[in-house]
Amino acid sequence: MAPVFMPGDHVLTFNWARVSKGDVIVFKSDGKKYIKGLTKIKGNLIAVSGDNVARSAKMDTIEKNQIVGKVIFKY
């Protein structure tokens, strides 16, 4: 999500907030945490995308249970 979110930035997330298209979320995959924009919800699958295609880790879909929380604040 660089340049909006850079390595070392801190974010506050809510894990009880309902996520929807356009939200920025933190999720776990392969033991790492990622920040991506939510682009589509279809059942239990979530389509995610980064802002910077050149620097962003390539991921197409994740499952809802991988979501750590919805980003509500960056500091």
The CA-atom distances, in angstroms, between 66 and each of 3, 54, 58, 72 are: 24, 24, 16, 18
Opening angle at CA 58, ends 53 and 64, nearest 5? 120
* Sheet architecture: strand order including 24-29: 11-14, 67-74, 24-29, 32-42, 45-49, 61-63
User: What is the model's pLDDT at position 66?
Assistant: 96
The pTM for the full model equals 0.85
Preceding omega of 3 cis (within 30 degrees of 0): yes
pLDDT tens digits for 20-57?
999 999 999 999 999 999 999 999 999 998 877 667 76
pLDDT band at 18 (very low <50, low <70, confident <90, very high): confident
